[in-house]
């Protein structure tokens, strides 16, 4: 079957990276069944022919109006689809959508009318913000990293500042690669506005947002970077947990040692 990826090597390469990340999510046990979802802004690959492609769905509501997304194109994982299937073939587990001129609805244009992720309004709100602030970021990633989600089951770790300082102190690289740390959103129903709104506010100040008793959200210039941010912070959580399994609480680098890394490596403390 002819795919939108046929004869579009640059778009295929971008989605190959998405597929590679989906494979990692499955291998890490972060993407059980249909767990997790993602979007990639592919507007830069939308040639004249793609822009002329007819819709294969009726207009669907985003749930919010997002003025910066007018005429944009996104690859979205499909609702109910498996990351491990996406790893084999992105177009079997997701679709390409076009945002309509009202900035409040979208239509599917390829390859099959696979309805996007249930978290689409949250993902597209993040995409809208990333364009608005001129970040150049293209990817949003929601997944279920085991150790970070486990930590979010304790009141102690729902304090963003305390959680961030603890994770930074596990190994120097955590601060180096996640200098804005992790923000925590209190438990809210998946796909709800109560989850989407604070996520958007917290991602403005943090590398990754942790949803209590659920998962994480990360953004990045491409899908690999969004994955790396999540992986770096979850690695720190795994070290903390491994020390617990050895029967002690990890000592952590001192606050002074952490501060020295920020100074020496000239790490930003805002986006």
Q: Which residues bind ligand 2HA (CB under 6 A)?
A: 34-37, 117-119, 142, 190
Annotated catalytic residue, options 119, 161, 251, 270:
119
Q: Which residues pair with 37 in a beta bridge?
A: 142
Cβ proximity of 110 and 102 under 8 Å = no
Continuous H helices in the chain: 9-27, 48-51, 83-88, 120-132, 146-151, 160-168, 172-177, 193-203, 223-246, 255-264
Taking the C-alpha atoms of residue 44 and residue 37, their distance in angstroms, rounded to an integer, is 21
**Which one of 38-46, 87-95, 215-223, 259-267 is the stretch in contact with Zn ion (CB under 5 A)?**
215-223
Residue nearest to ligand 2HA (CB): 190
Instruction: Report the nearest approach of Zn ion to the CB of residue 143 (Å).
Output: 7
> Residue 146 has what DSSP assignment?
H
Which of 128-136, 180-188, 207-215, 253-261 is the region at the interface with Zn ion (rule: CB under 5 A)?
207-215
Residue 209: CB minimum distance to ligand 2HA, A: 13
198 binds, among ligand 2HA, Zn ion, none (CB under 5 to 8 A by kind): none
Rounded least distance, CB 232 to Zn ion, Å: 20
Q: Which residues pair with 61 in a beta bridge?
A: 105
**How many amino acids of this chain bind Zn ion (CB under 5 A)?**
1
> 24 burial class (0-12, 13-18, 19+ CB within 10 angstroms)?
middle
Query: Quick one: which of 94, 116, 215, 220 contacts Zn ion (CB under 5 A)?
Result: 215
Q: How far is the CB of 54 from Zn ion (least distance, A)?
A: 32
Stretch that binds Zn ion, among 71-79, 125-133, 146-154, 209-217 (CB under 5 A): 209-217
Beta carbon nearer to ligand 2HA, 130 or 196: 196
Q: Which residues of 222-258 are buried (b: 16+ CB within 10 A; e: fewer)?
A: bbbbbbbbbbbbbbbbbbbbeeeeeeeebebbeeeeb
Annotated catalytic residue 119? yes
d(CA 46, CA 83): 25
Q: Which residues are catalytic?
A: 119
Interface ranges with Zn ion (CB under 5 A): 215
């Amino acid at each position: 079957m002819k795919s939108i990826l046929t004869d579009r090597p640059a778009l295929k390469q971008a989605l190959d990276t998405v597929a590679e990340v989906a494979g990692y999510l499955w291998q890490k046990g972060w993407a059980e069944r249909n767990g997790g979802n993602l979007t990639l802004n592919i507007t830069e690959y939308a040639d004249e022919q793609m822009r002329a492609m007819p819709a294969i769905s009726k207009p669907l509501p985003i749930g919010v109006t997002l003025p910066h997304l007018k005429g944009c194109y996104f690859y979205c994982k499909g609702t109910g689809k498996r990351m491990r299937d996406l790893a084999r073939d992105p177009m079997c587990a997701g679709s390409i959508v076009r945002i309509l001129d009202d900035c409040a609805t979208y239509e599917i244009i390829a390859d099959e009318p696979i309805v996007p992720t249930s978290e689409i309004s949250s993902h597209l709100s993040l995409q809208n913000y990333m364009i608005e602030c001129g970040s150049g970021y293209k990817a949003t990633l929601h997944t279920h990293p085991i150790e970070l989600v486990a930590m979010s089951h304790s009141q102690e770790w729902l304090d963003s500042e305390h959680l961030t300082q603890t994770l930074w102190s596990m190994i120097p690289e955590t601060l180096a690669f996640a200098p804005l740390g992790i923000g925590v959103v209190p438990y809210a129903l998946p796909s709800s506005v109560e989850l989407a709104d604070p996520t958007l506010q917290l991602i403005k100040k943090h590398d990754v947002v942790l949803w209590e008793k659920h998962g994480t959200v990360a953004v990045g210039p491409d899908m690999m970077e969004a994955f790396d941010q999540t992986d770096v912070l979850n690695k720190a959580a795994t070290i903390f947990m491994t020390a617990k399994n050895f029967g002690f609480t990890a000592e952590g680098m001192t606050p002074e040692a952490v501060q020295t890394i920020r100074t020496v490596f000239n790490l930003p403390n805002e986006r």
